[in-house]
Structure 1
Amino acid sequence: MANLDVQPKRKSSTWIWIIFVVLLLGALFLLYKGCNRTEPIKVDQSDSLAHDTVIAGITPVAATQPNWDAVDFTIPKAKYEEITDTAIIVRGNQKYTIYSLSENVLFAKDASTIQPVAEAKLQQISASLIKRFPNAQIGIYGRTDSIGGTGYNKTLGAERANAVKNWFVAKGGVLETALSTHSVGETKPLATNGTEKGRAQNRSVEIIAFPDSTGN
């Protein structure tokens, strides 16, 4: 009988190929899932934003706006050494400061163009705002008496407030982003409209500075 040299089959290479195929299929499955993702990946940008802010040297500004409708225009008078013109009335408390100018100082009757004589007074106010409230939110209120229609007075108050705002930006060096305008018109009078003296008090412009930008 002839001797047969029979050797066992080598199975190790077969298992290697099986493992390789399984791994390849797994990788293809993960790649397919990634390419078909429908939900966006959520990235928390708070840390990176804060980091970039620190690098840029910028202090974040509070998003809260002052409560412009809750201003008390009868708060006590204040004295600032830089305000030397007696036509400018300053009032203040811990929340805000009010600079007031009468209508006849700023404008001609029924007009909204700032008179040349008023520019020196507005310059004192703008310099005080820049000195004391560089980061404040500043509201400019236009006020009228009750003579004339309500709609007319509302429009006139808005035009006068905008005229003061435009002057502050163009000539006073105040940032436009800090300014807002508010037309009171004949509503919320400071004094009675039944007398000429009272009506004169109601024809005015007030500039209110909120140092903390909250007004609370």
Structure 2
Amino acid sequence: MTAEVVLYENPGWGSAIVEAQLAVYAMPVRLVPAGGTRDPQAVARAMAEVNPLGQVPALVLPGGGVMTETAAMTLHLADLARSDVLVPGPEAAERAAFLRWLVFLVAAVYPSFAYGDVPTRFVPEPGAAAFQARVIEHRKAMWRVMEAAAASSFGSGPRFLGARFLGPWFLGARFSAIDVYLAVMTRWRPGPAWFQAETPRLWAAGAAAAGRAEVAPVMARNFG
């Protein structure tokens, strides 16, 4: 695919996940700032015409169609690129595990940022701080579920042998879009220090993805 896509983005936000995937596929992309602000409510207003939920990212395809939801973009971009680099194909041994944990990321972990980043959208001010703290604790619990999965015996999952991480990817020897998600999401709260201490397998997979030649410039632009 050579036609340009348009990505509505904010540096350091969820758009970085899609931007990194586009870089892996070497797809031409035009980046459009989402309102030129990091204030979530201002971004929501700026994005309302493109995404009914007012969320970043949104992707405009060459034919003019608009996509939202990063998991949907992940699967569709693999189809457009005719590549299994990031999405294991139907016959791949890792396919079922990949789909399971991709959906887990977007259904169990990712929504916690929508709830927790601006808690006053959901609870009155007197209880907002406590609500946010509980959301972050729930998020940590979900990350620990993924960490345990990374150490379990599903498919070709990664392992620790002493101090050596065997993989180096979440799916073991198989690089995938899950590692790209981890590269970005381990930069978010509860923050890199927490991931290194509490979920070292996830941190290692994300760090390995962030260091790939195609992904590193995207990470630098988004996170400095």
Regarding TM over 0.5, the answer is no
In our comparison, the structure showing a higher alpha carbon Rg is 1
Which one has more relative contact order, counting CA pairs under 8 Å at least 6 apart? 1
Structure with more of its chain in strand, by fraction: 1
> Structure 1 length normalisation: TM-score?
0.26
